[in-house]
Amino acid sequence: MYSQKLWVDGQNVWTSVQGPPDMLQGTEAKKLLIDAVLFNDIKLPSLGYSLKVLGKQGNEILMKAEMKDEESLNRTYYFDEKTYLINKIESFESVGKGQPPLPVTIYYRNYSKIDGVLIPDRIESMNPMFNMEVSYNIQVNTELDDSAFSPPKQGQ
């Protein structure tokens, strides 16, 4: 097990894996900036994506979200045909130059109503290298200091 920390302030992204924070650049930073936007899935066009409904597969409606010149940011969404909630998202992640991209599937589980909005409290991310499950404890209108969104200064 290892410790990884991530900070996003809306313009910059920093990450720390067992050491001091580093500012991220490029496609990975762009992806994390998009992922940090609250309810980003309903804001895809304003984030630079073009959308296309692909049709139905079983009990799900499929939609392709593509970003021009950023193939690694493209995603396929699977919506429940009755609730229109996201069941899963499929994408490919770049892992390095000369390496084939990894298929990634993200499952959204256990939707709960919070202040009238259905939000998943568990998200599972799976790829051929590892699986990760994140459980959320969501609080609404909690006071947060701005310093929570950027890494601590050296020596703090």
* Mean pLDDT computed over 2-15: 86
Strands of the chain, DSSP E: 4-8, 13-17, 22-23, 49-57, 60-67, 75-80, 86-93, 102-114, 117-126, 131-135
* Mean pLDDT computed over 62-70: 85
- Over residues 20-64, the pLDDT tens digits come to 888 999 888 888 888 888 788 888 888 888 999 999 999 999 999
Please report the domains of the chain, with CATH numbers, ordered by start residue. 1-36 (no CATH), 48-143 (2.50.20.10)
What's the predicted TM-score (pTM) here? 0.78
CA distances from 60 to 33, 77, 127 (A): 28, 9, 21
CA distances from 35 to 9, 25, 116, 129 (A): 12, 15, 22, 21
Look at residue 103 in the predicted model and tell me its pLDDT: 94
Given a contact cutoff of 8 angstroms between Cβ atoms, the answer to whether 51 and 44 are in contact is yes
d(CA 70, CA 30): 10
Look at residue 79 in the predicted model and tell me its pLDDT: 96
Given a contact cutoff of 8 angstroms between Cβ atoms, the answer to whether 27 and 11 are in contact is no
Query: Which positions ≥6 away from 14 have C-beta within 8 Å?
Result: 6, 7, 21, 22, 23, 24, 150, 151
d(CA 105, CA 144): 31
- Over residues 101-151, the pLDDT tens digits come to 899 999 999 999 998 989 999 999 999 988 988 888 888 888 988 888 888
* Mean pLDDT computed over 84-98: 88
Look at residue 126 in the predicted model and tell me its pLDDT: 95
Stated length of the chain: 156
Q: Which amino acid is at 37?
A: V
Q: Which amino acid is at 82?
A: K
Look at residue 19 in the predicted model and tell me its pLDDT: 82
Q: State yes or no: pLDDT of 72 exceeds 80.
A: no
d(CA 50, CA 47): 9
Q: State yes or no: pLDDT of 70 exceeds 80.
A: no
